[in-house]
Amino acid sequence: MNNNPALKASYGDVLNRLNEGYKKIKNFALTRDYYLETTSKIELFTVVQRIRALNSKKDKPEYAEALIAEIKWMDNFLKEMSLTVDKDLFAAMMQLYLEQPSEYIAPRAKEEFAKFKNYKAWADDLYSKSIFANQQKVKELLNTDPRKLFEALDTDLGAQLVLAISNLYDNEVAPQLNKIQTSINQLQRLYMKAQMEVFTGKTFYPDANSTLRVAFGNVNGYSSYREKIRVLYLSGRGNGEV
C-alpha cells in the first residue's frame, strides 16, 4: 500500500485510528462489562428494572396488556427466585462492582456499603427492607395495586440502589461508549475495504458470528478406527454405543 499514493492517502491512517479508538473505549467497555454482570445476575435488580419498565408504560394505551404479561412473567420468575442465593449473589457481585478499576461507580453504592463495611451484612439489611425482595408482596401488588410498586421506585432502598447504578451508566457511560463504538465500526468497514482493494487476489469470507446458520443433511454414524471410537446416532427408536 505504501507504494500506491492513492491507496495510502485513503487508508494509510486506518490502523492508527483503530488503535486510538480501542484505547479510548477500553475503560468504558470494562465499565460496561462490570455493569452488565452486576445488574443481570442479581435477581432483585431484575425485579426492580421490570417494574421500572412497566411504570414507563402506565400512561400509554398498551399498559393494560403489558400489565397482564408482566403479572404472568413475574409469577414464574418469583417462583424460582431464592432470596438466600440472591443475597449471596448480591454480596459477591457488589464487591466486584465497587472494587472495579473504573471511576464510574455509583456514589449511592459506595455510601450504602460504607454503612456496613461488610457485603453480607449489607445484603441482609437491604433484602429485609426492600419491598422488591418480598416475593409475595410484589405478586400481590402487581395483581391489586401496581401503582404502589411504582411509587416505591422513588423511596425503596433496593430500587434506589439499582436506579443509581443504572442511571450513572445510562447517562455517563453508555453515550460515550456508543459514540466511540460507532467510530470503530465505521473504521472496521474502511479497514475491510482497504484489504479488498490492496489484496485483490484474495478471497474474503464474511464473519459468521451472530448470524443464523442452517445445515441440511442426514445424520449418520461416525467411526474412527485409529482412535477406536464408534459413535452411532441416537434416535427415539434406536440405541447408540460408544
Give me the pLDDT at residue 204, please: 83
Give me the pLDDT at residue 8, please: 83
> Which residues in the chain land under pLDDT 50?
228-242
pTM of this structure: 0.77
Give me the pLDDT at residue 81, please: 95
Sign of CA dihedral 232, 233, 234, 237: negative
Cell numbers for 40: 443481570
Q: Kind and range of the H or E element at 68?
A: helix 63-80
Cell numbers for 5: 499514493
Tell the residue number behind the cell numbers 457481585, with chain if given: 93
Q: Where are the domains of the chain?
A: 5-198
Rounded-to-integer distance, Cα 191 and Cα 132, Å: 48
Q: Are 148 and 137 in contact (CB under 8 A)?
A: no
Give me the pLDDT at residue 221, please: 63
Alpha carbons within 13 A on the beta-carbon side of 45 = 22
Rounded-to-integer distance, Cα 242 and Cα 229, Å: 7
Give me the pLDDT at residue 102, please: 87
Q: Kind and range of the H or E element at 229?
A: strand 229-231
pLDDT (tens digit per residue) in 71-91: 999 999 999 999 999 999 999
